Amino acid sequence: MRKVCLIFFTSLVAFASILTGGSMSFAETETPMIRIGVVPTAESVRLGSADDFTITNKETGEVLFSGEAGEVVVELSSTAAIETNYRLQTSWTTSVPYMQDWLNRAESAGYETYVEDYNGGWRLLIGKFPQDAPWGEREAFRQQMIAEGFASSDSYWRVITVSSEDAEIRLIADDYEAIIPNAVQISSASGVIKINGSQYRGIGEVGFNSTGTLAGINELPLEEYLYGVVPRELPPVPYGELEAQKSQSVAARTYAISGLGKRSDDGYDLLPTTSDQVYGGYDAEHPISTQAVQETEGVVATYNGKLIDAVYHSTSGGFTANNEDVWNSDPIPYLRGVPDSQLGKGKDNVPSLEVFKNHANPKSLRAQRKGDFEADWSKYHRWYFEWTKEEISDVLSEYYSTDVGEVYEINVLERANSGRALEIEFVTENGTFYEYKDRIRWALKYINADGGQSVLLSTLFYLEPVVDKKTKQLSGFKAYGGGWGHGVGLAQTGAMGMAVKGHTYDEILKHYYQGITLEERY
């Protein structure tokens, strides 16, 4: 239980920071520092630099090693007991009473539990099975947990690696080797360091995460962090319009400041992936993106004086979404669905099945439409996918963890005013299954070029059965869709289109985030 208590305490601090718009983490007159978990979990991490560098003990400041244009290895000491097991994730909650009650009931019943800090709340996991445990054995346990009220039907297995609480760090460099009980840091004469071969500004660090394994962390000023975010989130080739890059800079800055402390239990603030914001470090920087960051330094988006939840996505498909139509959350005034066009706000601009089917060239996923901000800039503005009967059965069987058999019908039962699916029904040989809002994308995966399953690009789609012309029998299903991502907030390719048509970054942001104010925080 010691690990659970530690997670609980640090999560409250992080959650309080999020609720206050990140204001706990820095004074508004100062540029904040940010910590990115560029290697979230590992048993070994390489630190280095192309220049002179120094490795220090983070806690004492003692210089442990100095080198030139090379690398050192930081690994868990051989005395650390490392375990990798399957654990059943049952739910995510922000409720302390719910978490405590669930833990008390599960542990009283004799089940092993694990709590993981995540996104201002906690993931609750139960059970522990070795990596070679048969699927049938794990599925039987999952069904038992559902029957006993510890899990729900959407529970799933995750592979979790943890190490013993007495783990230490081993530093290996040329003829030097030492055991250190706490984190080590690297700095360089040039201000650019390497973590696992990738270059980053600022300081590199290797310390322990919440599972007791190692995390490779990059700590640097937030503005310099944005140098490596903006070109990855909105690539300057081909999206090189400065005003579009500025709008991305402000959105990314607002998101980053709001997220300070978000993942503090793991020793860092944010991940470098789409779980937070994609961050490529020094190697990803581009002059146009850097200029956009510098020319908007300190500017954030607020609503009623508080930082907004500056969510963004690639491509809207023609109309962005209300936040409550995608996630189970109360309506947020500034996250209202708006048309991604110059044709006005009328709902007659919401894409329909006819619009999708009559598109000039859906196979190329690209065409021009008069007045549309994003059609010229996103190959995902219009798309379609088709499943055979066997493929759709496999997709749904895997998602619902049961053999659904033949799929007879797929019906969208409710749509939002943006055209997005809110509720979908799968009528199958072995029962009728449902899914809602953005989770529909995970239920209705498509078959990618490698033969694997990928999350459907958006919930802005229309479905039709495919009937064999000869047999007149159902042979599959086809989806006509548009957009990529959840559809809430800033549409990145739409921002590019607006910039090309002469709109400034503040106009772009105020289009996608309704009623906001832009403020200079530092």
Pair of tokens at residue 510? 């105020």
State residue 283 phi and psi, 5-degree precision.
-65, -20
Whether residue 69 is predicted with pLDDT greater than 80 in this model: the reply is: yes
Report CA 205 to chain centroid distance, whole Å.
23
- Report the chain's mean pLDDT, rounded to a whole number: 86
The predicted structure's pLDDT at residue 418: 84
Q: What is the pTM of this model?
A: 0.78
Instruction: Put residue 322 in one of left, alpha, beta given phi > 0 → left and psi -120 to 50 → alpha.
Output: beta
**Widest CA span in the chain:** 78
- How far is residue 169's CA from residue 243's CA, in Å, rounded to a whole number? 46
Beta bridge partners of 187: 54
Q: What is the mean pLDDT of residues 89-108?
A: 90
The predicted structure's pLDDT at residue 401: 85
List of domains in the chain:
2-78+168-294 (no CATH), 82-162 (3.30.70.1070), 311-488 (no CATH)
Q: What is the mean pLDDT of residues 42-69?
A: 95
H/E element holding 224?
A: helix 222-233
Whether residue 361 is predicted with pLDDT greater than 80 in this model: the reply is: no
Residue of 339, 249, 236 lying closest to 297 (CA atoms): 249
The predicted structure's pLDDT at residue 333: 97
Contacts of 235 (CB under 8 A, 6+ apart): none
Handedness of CA 240, 230, 384, 420 (dihedral sign): negative
- How far is residue 106's CA from residue 149's CA, in Å, rounded to a whole number? 10
First CA to last CA across the chain, in angstroms? 41
Higher-scoring residue by pLDDT: 243, 317 = 243
Query: pLDDT band for position 354 (50/70/90)?
Result: low
Q: What is the mean pLDDT of residues 4-24?
A: 37
For the chain, what percent of residues have pLDDT higher than 90?
A: 65
Between strands 490-491 and 312-313, the pairing is parallel
Q: Which residue has the tokens 């090379």?
A: 70
pLDDT tens profile 422-434:
999 999 999 999 9
